[in-house]
Amino acid sequence: MIWNPNKECMSRDEMSALQGKRLHKIVEYVYHNVPFYRNKLQEMDIRPDDIQTIEDIKKLPFTTKKDLRDNYPFGLQAAPQSEIIRVHASSGTTGNPTIVGYTRKDIGVWSECMARCLTAYGITRDDTFSVAYGYGLFTGGLGAHYGVEHLGASVIPAGTGNTEKHLKLIRDLGITGIACTPSYALYLAETMDKLGITKDQIKLRAGAFGAEPWTESMRKEIESRLGLKGYNLYGLSEIMGPCVSYECQEQNGSHICEDHFYPEIINPVTLENLPNGQSGELVFTTLTKEGMPLLRYRTRDLCSLMTGQCNCGRTSIRMGRIEGRSDDMLIIRGINVFPSQVESVVLSMPEFAPRYMLVVDRVNNLDTLQVQVELRQEFFTATFDTPAAIDELEKKLAAKLKSVLSISAKVQLKAPGTIERSQGKSAHIIDKRNL
């Protein structure tokens, strides 16, 4: 089933023409409404009229997470505040979250694209669909929620947590679809085992999994334990939220809603465009966004693009699995974590040496984060000669980390001089998750 065959199955020529027209319009729009872009374009001597076809996109400047940070909170917003009806926020690298405002039309486009995803997963208005992403500032919960409503299925806003009650509802209400992180899906399976609920007692048929990296073997495990088919759902809040791309029944790459989000793959070092099929950094331009339109936003996600008509009938370009990151961002329990965030917290406490190590693992299918810090020799005074005093110090750091990272981390105190002095950024991280 296809939600919007007009767009999802458009001929390539028509799609390029539509993208070119929309690109011209969005460049004109940001030129007149976002000083940041007007200055950039003027510096490069580009006028909106220079951008007529989608090929002209290569003339445009890139946008990075740093640009969002530097223009915190509303510097890149194009629409007047009176037109903004919702604001989401995602984690940033230095304590400032990324703020994304949406107009009524943006929410409409988001719901439309999300409905495309759900339809590709085989969800119809006859389904009962549970959204188990976090609701709130994170785009996952509300983004998926509005899509389910737009499609016309019954939405169960389960959110995260209270897993036992959620499982009871899955069984008793005959819930047929679910959206959550893949690790939460596995956690559901574990909880089912614990409660003695078998997969024959539940009717889950399709799962929309995203917001964190996952592997084929995780997919197989989720599918066999929950008795459903698991589909990839990709998105990022800077561009919109979940809905940017989705797998169809063929599961041969994720179809991009390219009439709204134009993808490119670049070499992250030279910034040159790479041919389709080659792996590089994924870049998106929002072609229709009003609230915070972005030109050539560098996602830092590494993947490749696939062209050609899919067996499902869709003609839209597809992206392969995310192969990694071109920066050192970690995704832990669906939340973006930057080592520099941890660094800023550690540096703010004189009790610790300016060194740390992040150890990420997956225990019982849930991501865990351990932050190792070194006690500074001169701060180890007579006050600390009982475990209670040291525990308190650990708790103080853990609380600060929690408020900055939005996820809890376990603090492990190390003796002075025992954490390896790192050379590069990635040396701060041990990721045992094997993704």
Q: Which residues bind other proteins (CB under 8 A)?
A: 375, 377, 380-382, 384-387, 390-391, 412-418
* For the chain, counts of helices (H) and of strands (E): 11, 21
Least distance from other proteins to the Cβ atom of residue 347, Å = 19
Q: Whose Cβ is closer to other proteins: residue 307's or residue 383's?
A: 383
Torsion of CA 51, 101, 139, 155, to 10 degrees: -100
CA 186-402-235 angle, 5° bins: 50
Q: Whose Cβ is closer to other proteins: residue 228's or residue 353's?
A: 353
Q: Give the count of beta carbons closer than 10 Å to the beta carbon of residue 171.
A: 17
Q: Whose Cβ is closer to other proteins: residue 168's or residue 410's?
A: 410
CB neighbour class for 58 (10 Å; exposed up to 12, middle 13-18, buried from 19): exposed
Cis peptide leading into residue 73 (ω within 30°): yes
Least distance from other proteins to the Cβ atom of residue 361, Å = 16
Least distance from other proteins to the Cβ atom of residue 417, Å = 5
Q: Whose Cβ is closer to other proteins: residue 292's or residue 353's?
A: 353
Least distance from other proteins to the Cβ atom of residue 408, Å = 16
Q: Whose Cβ is closer to other proteins: residue 222's or residue 393's?
A: 393
**Are the CB atoms for 307 and 258 separated by under 8 Å?**
no
Please give the backbone phi and psi of residue 333, each rounded to the nearest 5 degrees, phi first. 50, 40
Q: Whose Cβ is closer to other proteins: residue 107's or residue 369's?
A: 369
Give the C-alpha separation, 372 to 314, whole Å. Answer: 48
Least distance from other proteins to the Cβ atom of residue 350, Å = 14
Q: Whose Cβ is closer to other proteins: residue 198's or residue 412's?
A: 412
Alpha-helix runs per DSSP H in 311-386: 339-347
Q: Whose Cβ is closer to other proteins: residue 194's or residue 432's?
A: 432
Determine which helix (DSSP H) or strand (DSSP E) holds 109, and give its type and residue range.
Answer: helix 104-120
User: Closest Cα partner for 287 from 264, 324, 261?
Assistant: 261
Q: Give the count of beta carbons closer than 10 Å to the beta carbon of residue 344.
A: 15
Sign of the CA dihedral running 113, 119, 125, 127: negative
**Are the CB atoms for 286 and 240 separated by under 8 Å?**
yes
Please give the backbone phi and psi of residue 246, each rounded to the nearest 5 degrees, phi first. -155, 150
Least distance from other proteins to the Cβ atom of residue 339, Å = 22
Least distance from other proteins to the Cβ atom of residue 372, Å = 10
Q: In the numeric block, which tokens belong to residue 95?
A: 């304590």
Least distance from other proteins to the Cβ atom of residue 376, Å = 8
